[in-house]
Structure 1
Amino acid sequence: MPREVFQRELNRMFEEVMELGDGVSEALELMTSSMRERDADLARRVVGSDARFKSRGAEIDVECMMLQARQAPVARDLRFLHTLQGVTNHVVRSGTLCEHICAALVETEGHERDDELDATLIEMAGLARDLFRDGISVFREQDIERARGLQAIDDRVDLLYSEALGLIANPSSGPSGTPEWRMRAALMTHYLERIADHGVDIGTEAIFLATGERIEDAMDRYLHRNDG
């Protein structure tokens, strides 16, 4: 395979992964709107999407392996394909978690909720959605500086995660929600925290792609760039 043809194939794979990421971003937007508006019909639009995301992710994985088999890639190409496979995995897992949350919203439609806990979950959902969307944008643009800023947003998600767990363990004095809703709220708390983590991981893959360094090594180098 001539080099220019191979490069076009690599570019095509990149766009396919980004399109998959955009599809999951749209699902996360519906999920967040469903939580905010208490509109289970929005969540129903996401239920069933997981199979589609997984199928497309599997196709991309096979295509990446086929590209490696058809031509002996140089180190940069191997890093590129390896990174695309890693990003695809994070995208598909986020899509799965999004569908789990939407299924929970459908199953608890009309249930009484703990307003304070619900507000915390809605805030978490908005941040997780933004982190995932930003992670895709950072990777698409290979913006290393923005990649390094994603962790600060994730720290806010972690604080809300702790707050939500506290409210689950110690309900507020008002209506605490039905047992079914509280059980699913506990699961949604974990799912949202993981979606946020996947968003950070997607963005920081840009650092590995550009430098060959994992985020821990790159961050240490960046923080100590003026030492000595």
Structure 2
Amino acid sequence: MSGLSPELQGRIEAAEALLRRIATEFAPATLANSLGAEDMALTDLVARLKLPIGLFTLETGRLHKETLDTLARAEAHYGITIERFQPEAADVEAYVRDHGLNAMYESVELRKRCCEIRKVKPLQRALAGKKAWITGLRRAQAVTRTALPLQEFDSTHGLEKFSPLADWSEEDVWAYIEAFNVPFNPLHQRGYPSIGCEPCTRAIRPGEDIRAGRWWWESSDSKECGLHVKPAKE
């Protein structure tokens, strides 16, 4: 890890130790790979350490071509299979019939319904039977994530949830990607620090928050798709 700062080397070692513990104590565990920079760094860690941790992605049907190309390159680079989970065709057909293909622009409710069909319900299938899932969430990504813990119990899905990069900065992620020659989505080089479905993601402008390009027509406190929202307390 020559060329990396001592601070980042320490974070890498901590992430490696956490991933080893997950593989040992929480099998079967799985890594949710959105094919963004953070998840590609985690994929590299899992592959480099040869850990028995599965990988999956949510193939929503509306991803950028560049994202799908990154999926293929990652599999070839690491010699792995990243399992794909897709939305139920009947759910998509009913949504489009009742509301239109791009109804997500009409209201937060319709946008979240689209996310539920294309992401949340497939995630439930991806996590079925697992004891833990791993995400690339970081505290610095959004106002909704500032208190993100390294480990928490996901009561919605009934398993442990880990975010090994919680305390990493964006600079840390890119320093890791460069140091370990990690394949990444080329959209990141075109002003997309955060990448989701094509109709719901735009490039950001200079000085904008890194999540400003996600659901850009909504206020910042609603910018989650439902994958990482805690259930309301009664």
Judge same fold: TM > 0.5, yes or no: no
Q: Which structure's residues are more often helix, by fraction?
A: 1
**Structure whose alpha-carbon radius of gyration is higher:** 1
Q: Normalization by structure 2: what TM-score?
A: 0.29
